[in-house]
Amino acid sequence: MKKLFLIFAAAAAGAFIPAAACTNFIITKGASTDSSVMVSYAADSHALYGALYHTPAGHHKDGAMLPVYEWDTGRYLTDIPQIARTWSTIGNMNEHSLIIGETTYGGREELVDTTGRIDYGSLIYITLQRATTAREAIRTIVELANTYGYASSGESFSIADPDEAWIMELIGKGYKDDGKGGNARKGIVWVARRIPDGYVCAHANQSRITTFPTDDPENCLYAPDVVSFAREMGYFEGEDADFSFADAYAPADFGTVRGCDARVWAFFRTVADGMDAYEDYAMGYNLKNRLPLWVKPRTKVSPKTVFDCMRDHYEGTPMDMTQDIGAGGHNCPYRWRPMTFEVDGTEYLNERATATQQTGFWFVAQARNDAPRDMGILWFGVDDAATSCLTPIFCCTQEVPECFSEQNGSMLEYSPTSAFWLFNRVTNFAYMRYDMISADIRKVTDKWENDHLAAIPGFNAKVGRMSDAARRAYLTEVSVSTARELFDRWSKLDRYLLVKYMDGNVKSEHADVLTFLDGEGGAAHFVDNGNGRQIPDKIQFPGYNEKWKRAVVQDNGEILKVIK
């Protein structure tokens, strides 16, 4: 998502912290437990409504035009010629299991082309309609941006298919009048690197590609002027072999590392050994100790591991947000915006973890090698990844479940049938007493995701003898009905949490939340006083954690002290 910046001057002159941002993890087939290529993405923005987008495949007549609208704002940009045939897309995946995710790193502000007519969101969704492989997608992105002009700031793209995964970084060239009312610098400079099989990569709103090989087209592609343009602009001096894309076009500083690359480090340290050596970099203290572009995991990475890495709050690190008094009396790992605050003339930060409250939608997409290409899976969810749940949407799906529809509610209009609003209801309730409520939510999430991951291999046999059309119709129905089932389950969870945790108390239960959801879920689930009138018994009053109590005493203990 587009970067919004707050100056973080106290930490480092000119440094910035993103107030809205995204996170991508990329897992090659040789690094995954099921030989699938995986890309995760959290679309994070305080203004984005979480919905699932679908475009049907089409055959188009000569002369047909495609209107282009800026994804972030809805602003009309231009019309471009439509191609003869386009592919079906669902979310950030198409029917050929091509996946594209992104994070915005911004980069040098003077390189934004105000006359550009293709924004980064349009590059994603138009390319998904036109390309079938990762390499074809890279060519399509370059052609679109160079033909119509690039309307956004610097971007990192995750681009994957069932065989390979790439990280591509690009930025515009700014504006220079060509004497004819046009832009002499129209287009982009860019580099794309193929992630070695068996490795994982990640990006999170900071440019990640530094030096790169110029003689390995199988594994590295780049704009012919990527180095010469940097020289022309005064961004680089030296030998071509020493050229670093990131250092030229998006130099790192304390803010971009602490607020962005730290999320990459959190993922790497979860799946790979030796990452503690980069802790000082992740915290912004030693920018020379740069993270590698990719790492080899200690063991192969499962889809569920990727799901859970998207739920990270820096647990177990110095940046763990549950450990200081800012977490309140219930260890809440969130800090509301703005990203910085000032006390007695000194500025401090609020951490920006992978899981964040302002997520619109998120996914983990799988391009699979054990099934037809139209059986790739978009594990899709809405709202904060830490307290929401992913459900499988097959990439050939031809219908959006009502609960995920763009037409069902908006950021300014509540809808009782919208998954985005339902998950926000549950999550915002959880923020009040996070330590207890999130634990119940996580039990439900883990069971749902593990059960549906276990069911996936069975679909291969189920559709084995179906025609292409029958398979797609069946998988569409599975995707839609499963999403509907998740919505119903979360509605029941919403009611359960309110009954159990209302008014700061906790009602005692005969069994846990899963029993409630899998059974009738009535009053009999909770402990009553035995008089047959559904009056609760053994009500618990958990109070607050020790750190919070000591902080209150330090702040106002003389007034609150009990005198005996």
Helix (H) or strand (E) run with residue 218 in it: none
Compute the Cα dihedral for 32, 34, 37, 38 and give only its sign.
Answer: negative
pLDDT digits (tens, 9 = 90+) for 58-69: 999 999 999 999
Q: What does the H/E/C string look like for 117-169?
A: CECHHHHHHHHHHHCCCHHHHHHHHHHHHHHHCECCCEEEEEEECCCCEEEEE
Tell me phi and psi for residue 277, to 5 degrees.
-65, -15
Say if residue 135's pLDDT is above 50. Answer: yes
Predicted confidence at residue 533, as pLDDT, reads 87
Q: Quick one: tokens of 386?
A: 């830490």
pLDDT at 20 over 60: no
CB atoms closer than 10 angstroms to residue 224: 8
Cβ neighbours, 10 Å, residue 403: 27
pLDDT for 6 equals: 32
Confidence of residue 1 (pLDDT cuts 50, 70, 90): low
Q: Which helix (H) or strand (E) holds 535?
A: none
CA distance 8 to 347: 8
- pLDDT confidence tier of residue 115, bands split at 50, 70 and 90: very high
pLDDT at 140 (0 to 100): 98
Lowest-confidence region among 16-20, 98-102, 161-165, 254-258: 16-20
Using an 8 Å Cβ cutoff, are 152 and 172 in contact? yes
Distance CA 293, CA 536 (A): 56
pLDDT band at 11 (very low <50, low <70, confident <90, very high): very low
114 Cβ contact list (under 8 Å, min separation 6): 175
Count Cβ atoms within 10 A of the Cβ of residue 283 and give its class: 0-12 exposed, 13-18 middle, 19 or more buried. Answer: middle
> What's this model's pTM, rounded to 2 decimal places?
0.95
- pLDDT for the residue 520: 74
Q: How many angstroms separate the Cα of 292 from the Cα of each of 23, 274, 275?
A: 17, 11, 10
447-477, pLDDT tens digit by residue? 999 999 999 999 999 998 899 999 999 999 9
Mean pLDDT of 346-370: 96
pLDDT at residue 18, rounded to an integer = 39
| Rounded Cα distance, 125 and 395, in Å | 14
Contact 28, 164 (CB under 8 A): yes
Return the exposure string of 284-300: e unless at least 16 CB atoms fall within 10 Å of the residue's CB, then b: beebeebbbbbbebeeb
Structure tokens at 360: 């619109």
Average pLDDT value for the chain: 95
Is pLDDT of 5 > 90? no
CA torsion sign for 125, 131, 133, 138 is: negative
pLDDT at 481: 98
Radius of gyration of the chain (CA): 25
In which band, very low, low, confident or very high, does the pLDDT at 236 lie, cut at 50, 70 and 90?
Answer: very high
For residue 2, is pLDDT > 70? no
Residue 114's Cβ-count burial label (10 Å; 0-12, 13-18, 19+) is exposed
Question: Is-cis flag, bond preceding 303, omega within 30?
Answer: no
Return the bridge partners of 106, or none: 154
Which whole-number Å values give the CA distances from 486 to 181, 266, 361, 407, in the listed order? 54, 29, 15, 19
Q: Where are the domains of the chain?
A: 4-47+88-349
Check pLDDT > 90 for residue 7: no
pLDDT tier, 89 (very low <50, low <70, confident <90, very high otherwise): very high
Q: What is the pLDDT of residues 34-45, one digit of tens each?
A: 999 999 999 999
Q: What are phi and psi of 481, to 5 degrees?
A: -70, -35
Q: Hey, CA dihedral for 239, 226, 278, 270, is it positive or negative? A: negative
Mean pLDDT calculated for residue range 413-417: 98
The first and second tokens of residue 341, run together, are: 């605050």
CA 126, CA 129: separation in Å to the nearest integer? 5
